[in-house]
């Protein structure tokens, strides 16, 4: 029995809107999941997520298992309860972080060092499942192999084979019936390998399907055909999750192909350094041009930051090293992205998605 079901409400071409029902609740799609790497989105709290209208927030397995530890979070009632977040949660497998640390990989799993104290740790598909069951998120992801790009065909093939084998093992040992388990499609930018990986992953009958290993250095023109090749073989009644993608142009292009959900650290990473997402493109708030501007970050944005604060004030906060500046722009960037997803849902229902897509690409393409 599946613990995640996608119900389509509307479609406009391949773009689709609807909802995903999990054991503990429902979220609307297309959706963006803010990334709470260590149990919190940087500079925000659960109160902020709720006020912004987020429905599901991501936590990072690699960081949470190291600090404070999966056992502690389990004792505190799971990740959502630990963070006092009443919405839904998803944990990634930690694979992307692990593979960015130059680990030792073999057919059984991966050995890596802690970014905190240099201690050695081991991940196998079974350990990744066990850790995430303790973390208790509503959705957990299988451990996969994320090859860097560019990589040779042999490297991508080996990553595909190991990801497929590890997915089989993860499926066999996952026992929490109140937690959804998503498989992950790999295959680099090869359309043939993406299609193959999708078919093999679907054969295992997961609750949903992540598409990993994209937005890791390839161009959007290289990413989209590979993404389309994977989606063609994913079931229509399960959620499709493009992992680690959050720039506006890629969001709208991926939704056009039929993707349902996304996560990315871009919104808060830009916010911390003073760059805002707006309806007219990126705005660099530290620039001197904002010194006397008594206007909001984005006049078209209804978030409380734009309702209340001027560009001049926020620039001043950055100039004097006030951390509030990073918080304000991070809140805005997440709010702006959530509104973009809401606009996409509405346009799919109205049959005007392609118009919205062209408008976004005119600014962000």
Q: What is the CATH number of the domain that holds 198?
A: 3.20.20.105
Asked whether the CA dihedral 233, 239, 245, 249 is positive or negative, the reply is positive
DSSP state for residue 107 in the 8-state scheme: S
Residue 168 is assigned to a structural domain of this protein: yes
- Domain total in the chain: 2
Confidence band for 4, pLDDT divided at 50, 70 and 90: very high
- Give the end of a domain, one of 264, 298, 330: 264
Range 171-193 burial, b when 16+ CB lie within 10 A, else e: beebebeebbbbbbbbbbbbbeb
User: Of 212, 239, 264, which one is at a domain's C-terminal end?
Assistant: 264
pLDDT band at 132 (very low <50, low <70, confident <90, very high): very high
Task: Identify the active-site residue in 12, 92, 138, 247.
Answer: 92
The residue-averaged pLDDT of 251-276 equals 98
Question: Do 137 and 251 have their domain in common?
Answer: yes
Residue-level pLDDT at 94:
77
Residues in the chain: 365
Kindly state the average pLDDT of the residues 33-52: 97
User: Model's pTM, two decimal places?
Assistant: 0.97
pLDDT surpasses 60 at 1: no
Task: State whether 162 and 49 are in the same domain.
Answer: yes
Rounded distance between C-alpha atoms, residue 232 and residue 257, angstroms = 9
The domain in which residue 332 lies consists of 266-354
Range 87-99 average pLDDT: 87
- In this prediction, residue 215 carries a pLDDT of 87
What average pLDDT does this structure show over 166-180? 97
* Nearest to 30, CA basis, from 20, 22, 21, 39: 20
* Catalytic residue check, 263: yes
pLDDT number for residue 101: 80
* % of the chain residues with pLDDT over 70: 100
Out of 247, 260, 263, 298, the active site residue is: 263
pLDDT band of 211, cuts 50, 70, 90: very high
Distance CA 196, CA 194 (A): 5
To the nearest whole number, what is the mean pLDDT of the chain? Answer: 96
The last residue of one of the domains, among 215, 249, 264, is 264
């Amino acid at each position: 029995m599946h613990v995640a079901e996608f119900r389509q409400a509307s479609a406009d071409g391949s773009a689709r809107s609807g909802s995903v029902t999990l054991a503990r609740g429902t979220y609307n799609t297309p959706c963006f999941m803010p990334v709470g790497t260590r149990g919190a989105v940087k500079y925000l709290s659960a109160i902020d997520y709720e006020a912004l209208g987020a429905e599901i927030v991501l936590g990072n397995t690699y960081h949470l298992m190291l600090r404070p530890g999966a056992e502690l979070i389990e004792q505190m009632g799971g990740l959502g309860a630990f963070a006092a977040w009443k919405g839904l949660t998803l944990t990634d497998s930690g694979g992307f972080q692990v593979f960015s640390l130059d680990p030792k990989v073999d057919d059984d799993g991966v050995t890596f060092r802690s970014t905190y104290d240099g201690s050695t740790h081991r991940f196998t598909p079974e350990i990744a499942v066990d850790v995430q069951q303790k973390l208790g998120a509503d959705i957990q992801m299988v451990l996969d192999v994320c090859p860097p790009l560019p990589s040779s065909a042999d490297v991508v093939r080996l990553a595909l084979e190991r990801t497929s084998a590890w997915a089989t093992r993860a499926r066999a040992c996952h026992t929490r019936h109140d937690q959804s388990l998503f498989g992950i499609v790999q295959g680099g930018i090869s359309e043939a390998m993406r299609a193959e990986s999708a078919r093999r992953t679907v054969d295992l009958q997961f609750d949903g399907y992540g598409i990993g290993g994209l937005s890791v250095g390839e161009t959007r023109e290289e990413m989209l055909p590979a993404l389309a090749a994977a989606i063609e073989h994913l079931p229509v009644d399960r959620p499709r999750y493009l992992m680690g993608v959050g720039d506006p142009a890629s969001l709208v292009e991926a939704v056009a192909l039929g993707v349902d959900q996304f996560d990315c650290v871009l919104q808060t990473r830009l916010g911390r350094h003073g760059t805002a997402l707006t309806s007219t493109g990126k705005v660099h708030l530290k620039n001197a041009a904002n010194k006397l501007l008594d206007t909001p970050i984005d006049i078209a944005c209804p978030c409380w930051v734009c309702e209340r604060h001027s560009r001049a004030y926020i620039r001043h906060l950055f100039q004097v090293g006030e951390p509030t500046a990073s918080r304000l722009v991070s809140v805005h960037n997440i709010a702006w992205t959530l509104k973009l997803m809401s606009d996409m849902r509405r346009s799919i229902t109205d049959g005007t998605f392609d118009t919205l897509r062209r408008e976004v690409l005119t600014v962000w393409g």
